[in-house]
Amino acid sequence: MSLDKTIKGLKASFSKELSKSKTSSDLEKFRIKYLGRNGKLASLFEEFNKLPASEKPRFGKELNILKNELSSMYQDVVGGSKGSSISNNTDFSLPGYNLPDGNVHPLEQITYEIKSIFQSIGFSVAYGPEIDDDYHNFEALNVPKHHPARDMQDTFFINPNTVLRTHTSNVQIHLMENQDPPLRHICCGRVYRNEAVSYKSFCLFNQVEGLVINEDSSFAEMKGTLEYFVQEMFGKNTKMRFRPSYFPFTEPSAEVDIWNEKLNQWMEILGCGMVNPNVLTNVGYDNKKYQGFAFGMGIERIAMIKYGIKDIRLFYQNDKRFLEQF
Ligand code: PHE
């Protein structure tokens, strides 16, 4: 049958011409001639279509074998051509393509830094729920239902008794409910506030909470701890001050400011204080025996001061031009 012959002939001329094709443009012409959409192999398949049905099975099989053979012969040459004469056209000294690098989100980087500073002075890392009941977010922290301090933290309610936590201080309560003193923990995580979104406030942000409870911790120890943190985070010569403040869950309370050389002004970075004895009673601790201190800071704020970022929303827009700078 003539198709038999054609197959043999095609194979012979294929390998002869392939061995003569040296440069990449030779090879491309060759590929189009034999393996292209209108090439010789394709026209064999067209002829096959015209065969009577009884002959189709045998030739179908042969043609498929042929197709595989030819393409693997071609691939062998093309694949193996790197070191051959084709390399004349290829400049291996050209730099490769730059694949885009991923990197760690700036907030994640700062969180990591904050954690390792506190871990280096013996704090463990704890976690707590972002959705919590009113009791753990407010009540147990000495913020009863109609207390004016609730206005400091505009709240997202899931139902009248369930909130998106407005601060990480809820974890203080969970920790103390589940463990006996001494405690020395930090907790990082998201918090939510129903505030107008602007360059300085966002509906969600991250906080780090610290809690130390034992028999002899003091305000002086808290100051030392936070001074150490500020120096590690912002540099040894950073000026800082403690300013009297008010939080229902600490007494006495303070806020810490650091001096910003560039802007020539004090910037508030955290709130802190001695744990209010009422809070200790709420979790069943003996407030005559135990005392402690707590502090809480916004991670975005720390990052904004450290890197001179002017708009908190940048952390949440996933703009590569911003993220790539860290
Ligand atoms: N929870 C307070 C806030 O979000 C910060 C704070 C934590 C203050 C612990 C004192 C002690 O503003």
pLDDT at 86 over 70: no
Q: What is the pLDDT of residue 298?
A: 96
Q: What percent of the chain has pLDDT over 90?
A: 73
What is the spatial distance between Cα 204 and Cα 313, in angstroms, rounded to a whole number?
A: 10
Residue to mutate, 141, 152, 169, ligand 1, most ligand atoms under 8 Å from C-beta: 169
Q: What is the pLDDT of residue 316?
A: 96
Least confident window among 80-94, 210-224, 228-242, 285-299? 80-94
What is the spatial distance between Cα 50 and Cα 124, in angstroms, rounded to a whole number?
A: 79
Per the prediction, the chain carries an average pLDDT of 92
For residue 214, what are the contacts with CB-CB under 8 A and spacing of at least 6? 181, 182, 183, 184, 290, 291, 292
Cis bond before residue 182 (omega within 30° of 0): yes
Do 157 and 172 contact (CB within 8 A), yes or no? no
Which residue from 243, 271, 254 is spatially nearest to 172, judged by alpha carbons? 271
Q: What is the pLDDT of residue 80?
A: 60
Ligand 1 atom with the smallest distance to the CA of 271 is: 8
Ligand 1 atom with the smallest distance to the CA of 296 is: 7
More confident of the two residues 95 and 132: 132
Complete edge-to-edge strand list for the sheet that includes strand 157-159: 131-133, 162-164, 157-159
Going through 4-161 in order, the beta strands assigned E by DSSP cover 124-126, 131-133, 157-159
Do 287 and 241 contact (CB within 8 A), yes or no? no
Least confident window among 2-6, 121-125, 261-265? 2-6
Do 292 and 275 contact (CB within 8 A), yes or no? yes
Q: How far is CA 33 from CA 72, 73, 107, 189, 299, in A?
A: 16, 15, 58, 64, 65
By three-state DSSP, how is residue 224 classified? helix
More confident of the two residues 106 and 55: 106
Identify any residues that bridge with 296 across adjacent strands, giving them in sequence order: 209, 271
Closest residue to atom 4 of ligand 1, CA basis: 167
Residue to mutate, 206, 249, 275, 299, ligand 1, most ligand atoms under 8 Å from C-beta: 249
Is the pTM for the entire model greater than 0.85?
no
pLDDT (tens digit per residue) in 12-59: 999 999 988 888 888 999 999 999 999 999 998 998 888 888 888 888
pLDDT at 87 over 60: no
Ligand 1 atom with the smallest distance to the CA of 166 is: 4
Cα R_g (the chain), whole angstroms: 36
What is the spatial distance between Cα 119 and Cα 291, in angstroms, rounded to a whole number?
A: 21
Q: What percent of the chain has pLDDT over 70?
A: 97
Q: What is the pLDDT of residue 268?
A: 95
Q: What is the pLDDT of residue 169?
A: 98
User: What's the CATH class of domain 106-323?
Assistant: alpha beta
pLDDT (tens digit per residue) in 183-200: 999 999 999 999 999 999
pLDDT at 171 over 90: yes
Residue to mutate, 242, 247, 251, 255, ligand 1, most ligand atoms under 8 Å from C-beta: 247
> Which of the four pLDDT bands, split at 50, 70 and 90, describes residue 1?
low
Mean local confidence (pLDDT), 317-324: 93
Q: Where are the domains of the chain?
A: 3-79, 106-323
Mean local confidence (pLDDT), 314-323: 94
pLDDT (tens digit per residue) in 266-275: 999 999 999 9
User: What SS3 string covers 84-115?
Assistant: CHHHHHCCCCCCCCCCCCCCCCHHHHHHHHHH
Q: What is the pLDDT of residue 243?
A: 98
